Amino acid sequence: MTISSRTRTAVTVLAAACLSATALVLSPGVAGAASTLGAAAAQSGRYFGAAISTSHLGESAYVNTWAAEFNGVTPENEMKWDTVEPNRNQFNFGPGDQIAGQGRSRGMKIRGHTLVWYQQLPGWVSGLDANNLRSAMLNHISQAAGHWKGQLIAWDVVNEAFEENGTRRQSVFQQKLGDGYIEDAFRAARTADPNAKLCYNDYNTDGVNAKSTGIYNMVRDFKSRGVPIDCVGFQSHLGSNSNLGSYQANLQRFADLGVDVQITELDVGGSGSGQANVYRQVAQACMAVSRCTGITVWGVTDKYSWRSGDTPLLFDGNYGKKQAYTAVLDVLNGGAPNPGGGGTVRAVASNRCLDVPGSATAAGTALQIWDCHTGTNQQWTRASTGELTVYSGDGKRCLDTASGGTAAGTAAVIASCTGGTGQKWTFTGSGTITNAQSGLCLDVTGAATANGTKVIIWTCNGGSNQQWAAAA
Protein backbone atom coordinates (compact mmCIF):
# COMPACT_ATOMS: atom_id res chain seq x y z
CA MET A 1 0.00 0.00 0.00
CA THR A 2 1.27 3.47 -0.78
CA ILE A 3 0.17 6.91 0.21
CA SER A 4 0.09 10.03 -1.88
CA SER A 5 2.72 12.69 -1.64
CA ARG A 6 -0.07 15.02 -0.57
CA THR A 7 -0.80 12.81 2.39
CA ARG A 8 2.84 12.40 3.16
CA THR A 9 3.26 16.17 3.20
CA ALA A 10 0.33 16.54 5.55
CA VAL A 11 1.78 13.97 7.87
CA THR A 12 5.12 15.73 7.85
CA VAL A 13 3.50 19.04 8.75
CA LEU A 14 1.53 17.41 11.53
CA ALA A 15 4.57 15.66 12.80
CA ALA A 16 6.16 18.98 13.61
CA ALA A 17 3.21 19.96 15.74
CA CYS A 18 2.42 16.63 17.28
CA LEU A 19 3.61 17.25 20.77
CA SER A 20 1.36 20.23 21.26
CA ALA A 21 -1.66 18.62 19.73
CA THR A 22 -4.57 17.94 22.04
CA ALA A 23 -6.65 16.08 19.54
CA LEU A 24 -5.96 15.32 15.97
CA VAL A 25 -8.77 15.51 13.50
CA LEU A 26 -8.58 12.45 11.38
CA SER A 27 -9.64 12.40 7.81
CA PRO A 28 -9.29 10.16 4.80
CA GLY A 29 -5.78 9.83 3.65
CA VAL A 30 -6.19 7.80 0.51
CA ALA A 31 -5.59 9.62 -2.72
CA GLY A 32 -8.72 9.61 -4.83
CA ALA A 33 -10.98 8.26 -2.10
CA ALA A 34 -14.57 9.26 -2.79
CA SER A 35 -16.51 11.14 -0.14
CA THR A 36 -20.00 9.77 -0.79
CA LEU A 37 -21.35 6.25 -0.78
CA GLY A 38 -22.52 6.41 -4.37
CA ALA A 39 -19.28 7.82 -5.72
CA ALA A 40 -17.25 5.35 -3.70
CA ALA A 41 -19.29 2.41 -5.01
CA ALA A 42 -19.08 3.71 -8.56
CA GLN A 43 -15.30 3.37 -8.47
CA SER A 44 -15.76 -0.38 -8.73
CA GLY A 45 -18.74 -0.14 -11.09
CA ARG A 46 -21.27 -0.76 -8.33
CA TYR A 47 -24.18 1.28 -7.08
CA PHE A 48 -25.09 2.17 -3.53
CA GLY A 49 -28.79 2.82 -3.26
CA ALA A 50 -31.45 3.59 -0.70
CA ALA A 51 -35.11 2.75 -0.42
CA ILE A 52 -37.10 5.96 -0.73
CA SER A 53 -40.66 6.77 0.17
CA THR A 54 -42.78 9.48 -1.45
CA SER A 55 -44.06 10.38 2.03
CA HIS A 56 -40.81 12.18 2.83
CA LEU A 57 -39.96 13.84 -0.46
CA GLY A 58 -41.13 17.16 0.95
CA GLU A 59 -38.39 17.12 3.57
CA SER A 60 -35.31 18.79 2.19
CA ALA A 61 -32.81 17.08 4.50
CA TYR A 62 -34.20 13.72 3.40
CA VAL A 63 -34.00 14.50 -0.29
CA ASN A 64 -30.65 16.24 -0.01
CA THR A 65 -29.06 13.37 1.87
CA TRP A 66 -30.42 10.87 -0.59
CA ALA A 67 -29.30 12.93 -3.59
CA ALA A 68 -25.86 13.66 -2.19
CA GLU A 69 -24.94 10.23 -0.96
CA PHE A 70 -26.64 7.59 -3.08
CA ASN A 71 -26.55 6.65 -6.73
CA GLY A 72 -29.37 4.15 -6.58
CA VAL A 73 -32.96 4.00 -5.42
CA THR A 74 -35.69 1.48 -4.71
CA PRO A 75 -39.25 2.68 -4.08
CA GLU A 76 -39.98 1.33 -0.60
CA ASN A 77 -43.65 0.65 -1.31
CA GLU A 78 -44.65 2.53 -4.46
CA MET A 79 -44.22 -0.27 -6.99
CA LYS A 80 -45.96 -2.93 -4.93
CA TRP A 81 -49.15 -4.54 -6.14
CA ASP A 82 -51.51 -2.83 -3.68
CA THR A 83 -50.33 0.58 -4.88
CA VAL A 84 -49.91 -0.21 -8.56
CA GLU A 85 -53.12 -2.18 -9.14
CA PRO A 86 -55.48 -1.62 -6.21
CA ASN A 87 -58.43 -2.84 -8.26
CA ARG A 88 -58.31 -5.35 -11.06
CA ASN A 89 -56.95 -3.72 -14.19
CA GLN A 90 -56.95 -0.24 -12.66
CA PHE A 91 -53.40 0.93 -12.59
CA ASN A 92 -51.87 3.63 -10.44
CA PHE A 93 -48.33 4.34 -11.56
CA GLY A 94 -48.10 7.84 -10.08
CA PRO A 95 -46.18 7.18 -6.85
CA GLY A 96 -43.72 4.84 -8.57
CA ASP A 97 -43.28 7.37 -11.37
CA GLN A 98 -42.52 10.07 -8.84
CA ILE A 99 -39.61 8.14 -7.40
CA ALA A 100 -38.41 6.79 -10.72
CA GLY A 101 -38.52 10.31 -12.17
CA GLN A 102 -36.47 11.77 -9.34
CA GLY A 103 -34.02 8.92 -9.51
CA ARG A 104 -33.70 9.23 -13.26
CA SER A 105 -33.14 12.98 -13.14
CA ARG A 106 -30.24 12.35 -10.77
CA GLY A 107 -28.79 9.61 -12.93
CA MET A 108 -29.48 6.93 -10.34
CA LYS A 109 -29.87 3.21 -10.87
CA ILE A 110 -33.45 2.29 -10.10
CA ARG A 111 -34.57 -1.09 -8.77
CA GLY A 112 -38.16 -2.17 -9.20
CA HIS A 113 -39.69 -3.74 -6.10
CA THR A 114 -41.74 -5.96 -6.39
CA LEU A 115 -44.02 -7.69 -8.88
CA VAL A 116 -45.22 -10.83 -7.09
CA TRP A 117 -45.34 -10.91 -3.30
CA TYR A 118 -47.83 -12.41 -0.93
CA GLN A 119 -47.85 -9.21 1.17
CA GLN A 120 -49.15 -5.79 0.18
CA LEU A 121 -51.42 -7.68 -2.10
CA PRO A 122 -54.87 -6.19 -2.64
CA GLY A 123 -57.74 -8.28 -1.36
CA TRP A 124 -59.24 -8.88 -4.77
CA VAL A 125 -56.23 -10.96 -5.81
CA SER A 126 -56.53 -13.44 -2.97
CA GLY A 127 -60.15 -14.15 -3.82
CA LEU A 128 -59.51 -15.27 -7.39
CA ASP A 129 -59.68 -18.87 -8.56
CA ALA A 130 -56.58 -20.44 -10.06
CA ASN A 131 -57.23 -19.49 -13.69
CA ASN A 132 -58.06 -15.91 -12.83
CA LEU A 133 -55.17 -15.65 -10.42
CA ARG A 134 -52.74 -16.79 -13.11
CA SER A 135 -54.05 -14.35 -15.69
CA ALA A 136 -54.21 -11.52 -13.12
CA MET A 137 -50.58 -12.18 -12.14
CA LEU A 138 -49.38 -12.26 -15.73
CA ASN A 139 -51.34 -9.12 -16.54
CA HIS A 140 -50.00 -7.32 -13.49
CA ILE A 141 -46.43 -8.17 -14.50
CA SER A 142 -47.03 -7.20 -18.08
CA GLN A 143 -48.55 -3.84 -17.15
CA ALA A 144 -46.16 -2.86 -14.35
CA ALA A 145 -42.93 -4.06 -15.93
CA GLY A 146 -44.18 -2.73 -19.26
CA HIS A 147 -44.89 0.69 -17.80
CA TRP A 148 -41.37 1.10 -16.40
CA LYS A 149 -39.73 -0.72 -19.30
CA GLY A 150 -36.23 0.58 -19.94
CA GLN A 151 -36.10 2.63 -16.74
CA LEU A 152 -35.07 0.02 -14.23
CA ILE A 153 -31.82 -1.85 -13.81
CA ALA A 154 -33.57 -4.69 -12.04
CA TRP A 155 -36.91 -6.04 -10.88
CA ASP A 156 -37.58 -8.12 -7.82
CA VAL A 157 -39.88 -10.32 -9.85
CA VAL A 158 -40.81 -12.63 -7.00
CA ASN A 159 -40.32 -11.73 -3.37
CA GLU A 160 -40.14 -13.95 -0.29
CA ALA A 161 -41.48 -17.16 -1.77
CA PHE A 162 -39.55 -19.52 0.51
CA GLU A 163 -40.00 -20.70 4.07
CA GLU A 164 -37.14 -20.79 6.52
CA ASN A 165 -36.73 -24.54 6.01
CA GLY A 166 -36.15 -24.13 2.30
CA THR A 167 -39.55 -25.23 1.07
CA ARG A 168 -41.91 -23.04 -0.91
CA ARG A 169 -43.96 -20.63 1.14
CA GLN A 170 -47.61 -21.58 1.14
CA SER A 171 -48.78 -18.26 -0.27
CA VAL A 172 -51.96 -17.81 -2.26
CA PHE A 173 -49.86 -18.08 -5.41
CA GLN A 174 -48.28 -21.31 -4.31
CA GLN A 175 -51.48 -22.85 -3.08
CA LYS A 176 -53.47 -22.11 -6.21
CA LEU A 177 -50.81 -22.18 -8.93
CA GLY A 178 -48.14 -24.52 -7.57
CA ASP A 179 -44.36 -24.17 -7.93
CA GLY A 180 -44.67 -23.09 -11.55
CA TYR A 181 -45.93 -19.60 -10.76
CA ILE A 182 -42.39 -18.40 -10.07
CA GLU A 183 -40.99 -19.28 -13.45
CA ASP A 184 -44.16 -18.07 -15.14
CA ALA A 185 -43.61 -14.72 -13.46
CA PHE A 186 -40.00 -14.52 -14.63
CA ARG A 187 -40.96 -15.33 -18.21
CA ALA A 188 -43.66 -12.67 -18.19
CA ALA A 189 -41.25 -10.11 -16.77
CA ARG A 190 -38.66 -10.87 -19.46
CA THR A 191 -41.24 -10.30 -22.14
CA ALA A 192 -42.40 -7.03 -20.58
CA ASP A 193 -38.95 -5.52 -19.95
CA PRO A 194 -36.18 -7.45 -21.69
CA ASN A 195 -33.40 -5.22 -20.36
CA ALA A 196 -34.11 -5.26 -16.66
CA LYS A 197 -32.21 -7.81 -14.61
CA LEU A 198 -34.77 -10.19 -13.21
CA CYS A 199 -34.19 -11.05 -9.56
CA TYR A 200 -35.54 -13.38 -6.95
CA ASN A 201 -35.44 -11.56 -3.58
CA ASP A 202 -35.63 -12.87 0.00
CA TYR A 203 -34.57 -12.38 3.64
CA ASN A 204 -32.78 -14.59 6.16
CA THR A 205 -30.60 -15.77 3.33
CA ASP A 206 -27.50 -14.27 4.91
CA GLY A 207 -25.38 -17.35 4.77
CA VAL A 208 -25.45 -20.95 3.64
CA ASN A 209 -28.61 -22.18 5.35
CA ALA A 210 -31.71 -24.20 4.58
CA LYS A 211 -33.59 -21.28 3.12
CA SER A 212 -30.79 -20.00 0.92
CA THR A 213 -30.12 -23.55 -0.21
CA GLY A 214 -33.73 -23.99 -1.26
CA ILE A 215 -33.44 -20.83 -3.32
CA TYR A 216 -30.07 -21.89 -4.64
CA ASN A 217 -31.56 -25.14 -5.90
CA MET A 218 -34.37 -23.26 -7.62
CA VAL A 219 -31.94 -20.88 -9.32
CA ARG A 220 -29.76 -23.76 -10.43
CA ASP A 221 -32.81 -25.48 -11.86
CA PHE A 222 -33.92 -22.30 -13.61
CA LYS A 223 -30.50 -21.78 -15.15
CA SER A 224 -30.35 -25.37 -16.35
CA ARG A 225 -33.76 -25.10 -18.00
CA GLY A 226 -33.35 -21.63 -19.47
CA VAL A 227 -35.88 -19.90 -17.22
CA PRO A 228 -34.93 -16.20 -17.43
CA ILE A 229 -33.42 -15.30 -14.08
CA ASP A 230 -30.51 -12.85 -13.86
CA CYS A 231 -29.95 -12.13 -10.22
CA VAL A 232 -30.71 -12.93 -6.63
CA GLY A 233 -31.43 -10.25 -4.06
CA PHE A 234 -30.29 -10.72 -0.47
CA GLN A 235 -32.38 -8.42 1.67
CA SER A 236 -30.00 -8.55 4.61
CA HIS A 237 -32.13 -7.26 7.46
CA LEU A 238 -29.52 -7.83 10.12
CA GLY A 239 -28.49 -7.08 13.68
CA SER A 240 -25.21 -6.37 15.38
CA ASN A 241 -25.02 -9.99 16.45
CA SER A 242 -25.69 -11.47 13.05
CA ASN A 243 -23.28 -14.21 12.18
CA LEU A 244 -21.94 -13.51 8.73
CA GLY A 245 -19.47 -16.35 8.70
CA SER A 246 -20.74 -17.75 5.40
CA TYR A 247 -22.24 -14.55 3.98
CA GLN A 248 -19.63 -14.06 1.29
CA ALA A 249 -19.45 -17.75 0.44
CA ASN A 250 -23.19 -17.76 0.00
CA LEU A 251 -23.11 -14.80 -2.40
CA GLN A 252 -20.31 -16.51 -4.28
CA ARG A 253 -22.10 -19.82 -4.70
CA PHE A 254 -25.04 -18.02 -6.29
CA ALA A 255 -22.72 -15.98 -8.49
CA ASP A 256 -21.11 -19.22 -9.58
CA LEU A 257 -24.47 -20.33 -10.95
CA GLY A 258 -24.22 -17.48 -13.44
CA VAL A 259 -26.44 -14.86 -11.83
CA ASP A 260 -25.65 -11.45 -10.38
CA VAL A 261 -26.16 -10.93 -6.68
CA GLN A 262 -27.32 -7.73 -5.05
CA ILE A 263 -27.77 -6.65 -1.45
CA THR A 264 -31.26 -5.26 -1.68
CA GLU A 265 -32.63 -4.10 1.69
CA LEU A 266 -29.68 -3.81 4.01
CA ASP A 267 -30.21 -2.54 7.53
CA VAL A 268 -28.48 -3.53 10.76
CA GLY A 269 -30.08 -3.04 14.15
CA GLY A 270 -27.75 -1.68 16.79
CA SER A 271 -25.31 1.15 17.15
CA GLY A 272 -21.67 2.08 17.30
CA SER A 273 -18.92 -0.31 16.46
CA GLY A 274 -21.06 -3.44 16.64
CA GLN A 275 -23.38 -2.11 13.99
CA ALA A 276 -20.52 -0.70 11.95
CA ASN A 277 -18.76 -4.03 11.99
CA VAL A 278 -21.73 -5.87 10.47
CA TYR A 279 -22.16 -3.19 7.82
CA ARG A 280 -18.47 -3.45 7.07
CA GLN A 281 -18.62 -7.20 6.64
CA VAL A 282 -21.56 -6.97 4.25
CA ALA A 283 -19.83 -4.32 2.18
CA GLN A 284 -16.61 -6.31 2.15
CA ALA A 285 -18.44 -9.43 1.03
CA CYS A 286 -20.07 -7.59 -1.85
CA MET A 287 -16.78 -6.03 -2.88
CA ALA A 288 -15.14 -9.45 -2.81
CA VAL A 289 -17.70 -11.02 -5.16
CA SER A 290 -17.30 -9.66 -8.65
CA ARG A 291 -20.92 -10.40 -9.54
CA CYS A 292 -22.19 -8.45 -6.53
CA THR A 293 -23.28 -5.42 -8.49
CA GLY A 294 -24.67 -3.16 -5.80
CA ILE A 295 -25.96 -2.56 -2.31
CA THR A 296 -29.21 -0.92 -1.31
CA VAL A 297 -29.97 0.12 2.26
CA TRP A 298 -33.59 0.03 3.34
CA GLY A 299 -33.99 3.73 3.98
CA VAL A 300 -31.93 6.87 4.40
CA THR A 301 -32.43 7.83 8.03
CA ASP A 302 -33.27 6.02 11.26
CA LYS A 303 -36.13 8.48 11.60
CA TYR A 304 -38.14 6.74 8.90
CA SER A 305 -36.90 3.18 9.08
CA TRP A 306 -39.49 0.42 9.21
CA ARG A 307 -37.46 -0.73 12.24
CA SER A 308 -37.06 2.71 13.79
CA GLY A 309 -36.53 1.32 17.29
CA ASP A 310 -33.50 -0.53 15.99
CA THR A 311 -31.73 2.56 14.56
CA PRO A 312 -30.55 0.33 11.70
CA LEU A 313 -29.50 2.80 9.00
CA LEU A 314 -26.38 4.77 8.08
CA PHE A 315 -27.76 8.19 8.99
CA ASP A 316 -29.26 8.95 12.37
CA GLY A 317 -32.56 10.72 12.91
CA ASN A 318 -30.88 14.08 12.36
CA TYR A 319 -29.17 12.92 9.18
CA GLY A 320 -25.84 12.66 10.95
CA LYS A 321 -23.41 10.11 9.57
CA LYS A 322 -23.02 7.16 11.88
CA GLN A 323 -19.97 5.06 12.54
CA ALA A 324 -21.44 2.48 10.21
CA TYR A 325 -21.44 5.08 7.45
CA THR A 326 -17.71 5.55 7.70
CA ALA A 327 -17.15 1.82 7.84
CA VAL A 328 -19.08 1.28 4.61
CA LEU A 329 -17.54 4.26 2.86
CA ASP A 330 -14.09 3.04 3.70
CA VAL A 331 -14.78 -0.41 2.33
CA LEU A 332 -16.27 0.97 -0.88
CA ASN A 333 -13.25 3.17 -1.34
CA GLY A 334 -10.75 0.43 -1.33
CA GLY A 335 -12.16 -2.98 -0.92
CA ALA A 336 -10.92 -2.42 2.62
CA PRO A 337 -11.29 0.58 4.89
CA ASN A 338 -9.13 3.48 3.93
CA PRO A 339 -6.69 4.92 6.41
CA GLY A 340 -9.14 7.39 7.83
CA GLY A 341 -7.22 7.85 11.01
CA GLY A 342 -4.07 6.44 9.64
CA GLY A 343 -0.89 7.98 8.56
CA THR A 344 2.56 6.74 8.17
CA VAL A 345 4.68 4.58 10.34
CA ARG A 346 7.86 6.43 10.77
CA ALA A 347 10.96 6.42 12.82
CA VAL A 348 10.63 8.42 16.03
CA ALA A 349 12.92 9.34 18.88
CA SER A 350 10.58 9.84 21.78
CA ASN A 351 7.08 10.64 22.97
CA ARG A 352 5.64 7.69 21.26
CA CYS A 353 2.02 6.77 21.66
CA LEU A 354 2.35 3.35 20.24
CA ASP A 355 5.75 2.07 19.48
CA VAL A 356 6.47 -0.49 16.86
CA PRO A 357 9.93 -1.97 16.76
CA GLY A 358 11.93 -1.02 13.78
CA SER A 359 11.65 -4.40 12.19
CA ALA A 360 7.91 -4.72 12.65
CA THR A 361 6.58 -2.21 10.18
CA ALA A 362 8.48 -0.52 7.45
CA ALA A 363 8.73 3.25 7.51
CA GLY A 364 6.32 4.72 5.01
CA THR A 365 3.72 2.01 5.44
CA ALA A 366 0.25 3.48 5.38
CA LEU A 367 -1.95 2.56 8.28
CA GLN A 368 -5.64 2.01 8.67
CA ILE A 369 -7.21 2.71 11.99
CA TRP A 370 -10.22 0.60 12.77
CA ASP A 371 -12.97 0.17 15.26
CA CYS A 372 -12.32 -2.06 18.15
CA HIS A 373 -14.90 -4.78 18.25
CA THR A 374 -15.82 -7.50 20.62
CA GLY A 375 -14.68 -10.92 19.70
CA THR A 376 -11.32 -12.19 18.70
CA ASN A 377 -10.62 -9.85 15.84
CA GLN A 378 -10.98 -6.51 17.56
CA GLN A 379 -10.03 -3.48 15.62
CA TRP A 380 -9.77 0.24 15.98
CA THR A 381 -11.27 2.89 13.84
CA ARG A 382 -11.65 6.61 14.14
CA ALA A 383 -14.67 7.73 16.09
CA SER A 384 -17.04 10.04 14.25
CA THR A 385 -15.41 13.04 15.89
CA GLY A 386 -12.14 12.03 14.40
CA GLU A 387 -10.70 10.84 17.65
CA LEU A 388 -10.22 7.31 18.65
CA THR A 389 -12.01 5.89 21.62
CA VAL A 390 -10.65 3.11 23.68
CA TYR A 391 -13.07 0.31 23.45
CA SER A 392 -13.10 -2.61 25.76
CA GLY A 393 -14.67 -5.71 24.39
CA ASP A 394 -13.36 -8.87 25.91
CA GLY A 395 -10.56 -7.12 27.72
CA LYS A 396 -8.36 -6.65 24.70
CA ARG A 397 -7.57 -3.49 22.87
CA CYS A 398 -6.10 -3.25 19.48
CA LEU A 399 -4.96 -1.02 16.69
CA ASP A 400 -5.26 -2.32 13.23
CA THR A 401 -2.82 -1.79 10.44
CA ALA A 402 -3.61 -1.91 6.79
CA SER A 403 -3.78 -5.21 5.10
CA GLY A 404 -0.34 -5.94 3.87
CA GLY A 405 1.23 -3.28 6.02
CA THR A 406 2.61 -5.58 8.66
CA ALA A 407 3.11 -9.28 8.59
CA ALA A 408 0.92 -11.38 10.83
CA GLY A 409 2.85 -12.86 13.66
CA THR A 410 5.21 -9.96 13.95
CA ALA A 411 5.93 -9.01 17.54
CA ALA A 412 5.10 -5.43 18.41
CA VAL A 413 5.58 -3.29 21.45
CA ILE A 414 2.32 -1.97 22.74
CA ALA A 415 1.74 0.90 25.08
CA SER A 416 -1.16 2.01 27.22
CA CYS A 417 -2.80 5.41 27.24
CA THR A 418 -2.05 7.50 30.29
CA GLY A 419 -5.04 9.82 29.99
CA GLY A 420 -5.45 13.57 30.08
CA THR A 421 -4.91 16.06 27.31
CA GLY A 422 -2.20 15.10 24.97
CA GLN A 423 -2.47 11.52 26.06
CA LYS A 424 0.31 9.21 25.21
CA TRP A 425 0.82 5.56 25.11
CA THR A 426 3.25 4.05 27.55
CA PHE A 427 4.68 0.61 27.39
CA THR A 428 2.79 -2.21 28.95
CA GLY A 429 4.39 -5.09 27.26
CA SER A 430 4.35 -6.61 23.86
CA GLY A 431 1.64 -7.84 21.62
CA THR A 432 1.45 -9.66 18.40
CA ILE A 433 0.17 -8.51 15.09
CA THR A 434 -2.60 -10.89 14.20
CA ASN A 435 -4.87 -11.41 11.30
CA ALA A 436 -8.04 -9.39 11.71
CA GLN A 437 -11.17 -9.60 9.63
CA SER A 438 -9.67 -7.58 6.89
CA GLY A 439 -6.31 -6.46 7.88
CA LEU A 440 -3.78 -6.91 10.55
CA CYS A 441 -4.26 -6.11 14.17
CA LEU A 442 -2.10 -5.16 17.08
CA ASP A 443 -3.75 -6.77 20.04
CA VAL A 444 -3.28 -5.23 23.45
CA THR A 445 -4.10 -7.29 26.45
CA GLY A 446 -4.59 -6.01 29.94
CA ALA A 447 -6.75 -3.26 31.31
CA ALA A 448 -4.35 -0.38 31.09
CA THR A 449 -6.81 2.09 29.63
CA ALA A 450 -10.36 2.69 30.72
CA ASN A 451 -13.13 2.06 28.28
CA GLY A 452 -14.21 5.35 26.73
CA THR A 453 -10.89 7.11 27.16
CA LYS A 454 -10.07 9.36 24.25
CA VAL A 455 -6.86 8.40 22.64
CA ILE A 456 -4.81 10.65 20.50
CA ILE A 457 -2.81 8.97 17.89
CA TRP A 458 0.26 11.04 17.48
CA THR A 459 2.22 11.92 14.48
CA CYS A 460 5.79 10.90 14.59
CA ASN A 461 9.01 12.79 14.67
CA GLY A 462 11.70 10.59 13.38
CA GLY A 463 14.40 8.51 14.99
CA SER A 464 15.09 4.87 15.27
CA ASN A 465 11.77 3.75 16.67
CA GLN A 466 8.60 3.93 14.71
CA GLN A 467 5.39 5.50 15.80
CA TRP A 468 1.80 5.57 14.67
CA ALA A 469 0.62 8.76 13.09
CA ALA A 470 -2.67 10.36 12.27
CA ALA A 471 -3.00 11.95 8.91
CA ALA A 472 -4.65 15.32 8.59
Hey, which residues are catalytic here?
Answer: 265
Q: Is 55 in the site for ligand 9MR (CB under 6 A)?
A: no
Complex with ligand 9MR: residue 298 or 380, whichever CB lies closer: 298
In the complex, least distance from residue 396 CB atom to ligand 9MR, rounded to whole angstroms: 36
The residue within the footprint of ligand 9MR, chosen from 235, 262, 453, 461 (CB under 6 A), is 235
Here's the x/- map for ligand 9MR, 67-86, by CB under 6 A: it reads as ---------xx---------
In the complex, least distance from residue 186 CB atom to ligand 9MR, rounded to whole angstroms: 18
> Which residue has the CB atom at the shortest distance from ligand 9MR?
306
Here's the x/- map for ligand 9MR, 130-169, by CB under 6 A: it reads as -----------------------------x----------
The residue within the footprint of ligand 9MR, chosen from 22, 35, 119, 126 (CB under 6 A), is 119
Complex with ligand 9MR: residue 181 or 203, whichever CB lies closer: 203
Complex with ligand 9MR: residue 4 or 119, whichever CB lies closer: 119
In the complex, least distance from residue 82 CB atom to ligand 9MR, rounded to whole angstroms: 9
Complex with ligand 9MR: residue 91 or 306, whichever CB lies closer: 306
In the complex, least distance from residue 76 CB atom to ligand 9MR, rounded to whole angstroms: 5
The residue within the footprint of ligand 9MR, chosen from 306, 358, 374, 465 (CB under 6 A), is 306
Q: Is 120 in the site for ligand 9MR (CB under 6 A)?
A: yes
In the complex, least distance from residue 119 CB atom to ligand 9MR, rounded to whole angstroms: 5
The residue within the footprint of ligand 9MR, chosen from 265, 330, 355, 371 (CB under 6 A), is 265
Q: How many residues bind ligand 9MR (CB under 6 A)?
A: 9
Complex with ligand 9MR: residue 299 or 339, whichever CB lies closer: 299
In the complex, least distance from residue 389 CB atom to ligand 9MR, rounded to whole angstroms: 33
Q: Which own/partner contact pairs does 11-16 have at CB distance under 8 Å and 24+ positions apart?
A: 11/343, 11/344, 11/346, 11/459, 11/469, 11/471, 11/472, 13/472, 14/343, 14/459, 14/469, 14/470, 14/471, 14/472, 15/346, 15/459, 15/460, 15/461, 15/462, 15/469, 16/461
In the complex, least distance from residue 74 CB atom to ligand 9MR, rounded to whole angstroms: 9
Q: Binding residues for ligand 9MR, per CB under 6 A? A: 76-77, 119-120, 159, 203, 235, 265, 306
